[in-house]
Amino acid sequence: MSNPTVTQASSIADSTQSRSSSFVPTNLRVTSGNIPLSVQTDVPIFPGSPPVFTVTGTWMMAGTRVTANSIGVINSSSIGVGYIAAGSPSGPLQINPGNQNVLIKF
């Protein structure tokens, strides 16, 4: 089984299917096609779409077998939560579909 990894912010969506506009990368050394792989400490940023207005997110669980600088890489099986401006959760983050060129095989 293989899971696509995340290299672009547009691969991440919140519970209202609003795509992430960017993410604050914390990994700049491990790349695919000169684009950093997303890791668990990255913060996805959303444009804020009604009715939920998700503005940021965090990753609760990332890949455990593949790491970048000892931090788990975000792949299609990772679990994240979106947050609204008030700080309360808005729902789960979804990865659609991730980078098919970088696969994590089990």
Q: What is the pLDDT of residues 51-106, one digit of tens each?
A: 667 788 999 998 778 888 888 888 888 899 988 877 788 889 888 765 656 655 43
Sketch the domain layout of the chain as residue ranges: 2-105
Which of 78, 61, 73 shows the shortest CA–CA distance to 13? 78
pLDDT digits (tens, 9 = 90+) for 13-33: 888 777 888 888 888 888 877
pTM of the model: 0.76
CATH class (in words) of the domain with range 2-105: mainly beta
Rounded to whole angstroms, how far apart are CA atoms 17 and 66?
A: 27
Over 50: is that where the pLDDT of 48 sits?
Answer: yes
**CA distance readout (Å), 20 to 1, 2, 28, 67, 105:** 26, 23, 19, 23, 26
